[in-house]
Structure 1
């Protein structure tokens, strides 16, 4: 009878294996996600999930209260967040998932910081991507919807104006907690988008931009466009689209809005 305190030794056979050759690897995308963001990863699966890619995430420490001071503090937290990507990993593109912080820290500065820590061919941010997307659609007169407090919303509208866009109508949920913004329901966002369009009055809008990666816009973009008859771009739809564009990633267009057509 075997001693109950002794464990039988299992014999293992060693089997051969292959590794994926570099030329057979899918496109390599990286995403720097806010500690408090409840939305962006799911929405990236929606916008890019039908493409041949590898998407690797890291989280960057941030405060739940969305203020200019708290957002800019993330500049000093990039190094730690980027160090948590796999060592010596080469990315075709890396996106930074914060619209307001990319504005306040500076789009070019974000790119410089990321490229100084990570091997990335391309870097983009929601602000960069949105401006590229609006230009691609030929949109100049836009409606603006954000969850932010007025100070941040105003800075964002000013930046869009400086880039050549006219913010014809704007609205905000005026909520400063990212954890709450991430729980705003898609029907509430849909109602707000409709209100922004209605507030334009006789002004003809070319598109509506919904700012913030925490807002759950993916389920309602196509419906909003069908009702309003104009493109609707969210921070996440724009960022995912721009990363696909920069890397040549082919993804489907169905249900994702005019930007993907």
Structure 2
């Protein structure tokens, strides 16, 4: 196959990645999933708490457009806005579609990737584990339900209840606590376990949880990475990262 890029490290594809300022997990997990010949290139952008009002959405789009212009200079093939809560906008494809139209670069968002991943797996009933506090958990429940999913249970850790200054703690959650939280969130009868937040460390747990629970496990970083690979024509089936990347 003819290389897409004249690059030692990324002849197959270059992926752009936008993360919130405090996020330190997304890059670490993507690094561990990256197939040979593909690279990713990151930029940080401030958090946007208001994504529902017209003014809030306009501010988000303006900031994203500026960051896209920066990352485009690296000749990336697609760019992901990797913030779960910040991309939970309906219709689910409205944000990535508008970004693609505005910037001329294929855009992917974490929330749209999650919906696409769950649909690819053919599931409709979910148990959900998050690190978030009640307000974001309620927003996420409504977002999932509006996209056709039944949320059997959604459990959060309460991080952010006292403001966004707490979000830095998400990445510091011990992996054992994440695992226990995920198991406790699962309700028998759910068809999948969804673990959200791109700063929540989950990658080593996906296969373990699938084996114990007997259902697919979808995470924010895994779903966004899967969507980016498929958006750039990389169809590798990757093992050790859950049913989504192995089978779809």
TM-score by length of 2: 0.83
CA distance in 2, matches of 1:189, 1:232: 13
User: For 1:133, which of 113, 117, 134 is the aligned residue?
Assistant: 117
Which residue of structure 2 aligns with residue 192 of structure 1? 181
In structure 1, the gaps of 5 or more residues are: 1-18
User: For 1:178, which of 149, 162, 167 is the aligned residue?
Assistant: 167
Q: Which has the higher contact order (CA 8 A, sep 6+)?
A: 1
In structure 2, the gaps of 5 or more residues are: 161-165
Q: How many Å apart are 1:178 and its aligned residue?
A: 1.8
User: For 2:83, which of 95, 98, 107 is the aligned residue?
Assistant: 98
Deviations 1:37-68 (A, max 9, x none): 01101111122x224213111111238xxx54
Which residue of structure 1 aligns with residue 37 of structure 2? 52
Q: How many Å apart are 1:76 and its aligned residue?
A: 4.0
Tell me if structure 2 keeps the 8 A contact 1:102–1:110. Answer: no
Q: How many Å apart are 1:86 and its aligned residue?
A: 5.2
User: For 2:190, which of 194, 197, 205 is the aligned residue?
Assistant: 205
Map 1:158-177; keep pairs closer than 5 Å. Answer: 158-176=142-160, 177=166
Q: How many Å apart are 1:35 and its aligned residue?
A: 1.1
CA distance in 2, matches of 1:148, 1:81: 26
- Describe the SS at the equivalent of 1:55: strand
- Describe the SS at the equivalent of 1:175: coil
Kindly indicate whether residue 128 of structure 2 is the aligned counterpart of residue 144 of structure 1.
yes
- Describe the SS at the equivalent of 1:182: helix
- Describe the SS at the equivalent of 2:14: strand
Q: How many Å apart are 1:29 and its aligned residue?
A: 1.3
Kindly indicate whether residue 71 of structure 2 is the aligned counterpart of residue 82 of structure 1.
no
- Describe the SS at the equivalent of 1:144: strand
CA distance in 2, matches of 1:127, 1:258: 19
Tell me if structure 2 keeps the 8 A contact 1:52–1:249. Answer: no
Which residue of structure 1 aligns with residue 220 of structure 2? 235
CA distance in 2, matches of 1:81, 1:50: 25
CA distance in 2, matches of 1:79, 1:92: 16
CA distance in 2, matches of 1:254, 1:153: 31
Q: How many Å apart are 1:108 and its aligned residue?
A: 1.6
Tell me if structure 1 keeps the 8 A contact 2:65–2:102. Answer: no
CA distance in 2, matches of 1:35, 1:115: 25
Q: How many Å apart are 1:84 and its aligned residue?
A: 2.8
Q: How many Å apart are 1:28 and its aligned residue?
A: 2.2
Q: How many Å apart are 1:245 and its aligned residue?
A: 1.5
Tell me if structure 1 keeps the 8 A contact 2:128–2:151. Answer: yes
Q: How many Å apart are 1:80 and its aligned residue?
A: 3.8
Aligned residues: 230
Residues 90 and 51 of structure 1: CA distance in aligned 2, closer, same or farther (over 3 Å) = same
Deviations 1:108-158 (A, max 9, x none): 2354236524x41x2111111111111111111110111122111111111
